[in-house]
């Protein structure tokens, strides 16, 4: 399958699911939107599940490129920086990646349907797993470079990743809900400062 056709199918699926919801979009609807016959769509993707999984991977890679999130050279990243600055930078990169327009639209669909749609739940769990693994790697490196100390780096990484995920969900809910009440705008910064103080070398 050509990259152009793949992107065309993914973007058509994203637009349909953003308007109708993941569960309400059929392979027929996607084929019609792209202007191909349904059997042709099945030549590219064996199932809707495969299409949605490919869409997630494709949009995530696109968002990483757009947010300049690439392979990590910890020695270069850590040079001359405090633990707090490093965590702000890493969390900021993750936030920027997930705020890319296509990724944000995709997450709005996936998050709204995860309690009812196994496909959506699988992707949310997969993204959380990726974040936990990346956080573990970061924390091992910070421990080696004597930037932070963890009694249990694995559980610290799980706790940190889940808190960041929760704060991202909270921010998205506030934005989507157009909350008018006063909220603590520095909640993330306060959490990162507290985390660095709790795990200081």
d(CA 196, CA 160): 11
| Per-residue confidence (pLDDT) for residue 173, from 0 to 100 | 77
Q: How do residues 97-116 score in pLDDT, each as one tens digit?
A: 888 888 888 988 888 888 98
| Per-residue confidence (pLDDT) for residue 181, from 0 to 100 | 60
- CA 103, 188, 83, 126 torsion-angle sign: negative
| Per-residue confidence (pLDDT) for residue 66, from 0 to 100 | 81
| Per-residue confidence (pLDDT) for residue 185, from 0 to 100 | 63
| Per-residue confidence (pLDDT) for residue 184, from 0 to 100 | 61
Residues of the chain short of pLDDT 50, as ranges, are none
Alpha carbon 156 to its chain centroid, in Å, reads 20
d(CA 61, CA 71): 12
pTM given for the model: 0.83
d(CA 134, CA 64): 14
Quote the tokens at residue 13: 């699926």
């Amino acid at each position: 399958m050509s990259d152009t056709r793949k992107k065309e199918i993914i973007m058509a699926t994203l637009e349909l699911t953003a308007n109708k919801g993941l569960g309400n979009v059929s392979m027929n609807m996607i084929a019609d939107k792209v202007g191909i016959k349904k059997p042709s769509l099945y030549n590219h993707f064996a199932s809707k599940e495969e299409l949605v999984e490919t869409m997630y991977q494709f949009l995530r890679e696109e968002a990483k490129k757009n947010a300049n999130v690439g392979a990590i050279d910890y020695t270069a990243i850590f040079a001359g920086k405090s633990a707090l600055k490093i965590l702000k930078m890493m969390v900021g990169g993750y936030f920027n990646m997930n705020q890319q327009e296509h990724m944000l639209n995709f997450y709005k669909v996936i998050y709204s349907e995860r309690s009812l749609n196994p496909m959506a739940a699988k992707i949310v769990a997969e993204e959380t797993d990726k974040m936990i693994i990346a956080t573990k790697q970061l924390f091992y490196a910070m421990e080696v470079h004597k930037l932070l100390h963890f009694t249990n780096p694995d559980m610290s990484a799980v706790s940190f990743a889940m808190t960041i995920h929760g704060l991202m969900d909270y921010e998205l809910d506030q934005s989507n809900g157009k909350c008018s009440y006063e909220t603590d705008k520095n909640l993330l910064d306060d959490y990162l400062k507290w985390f660095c103080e709790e795990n200081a070398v």
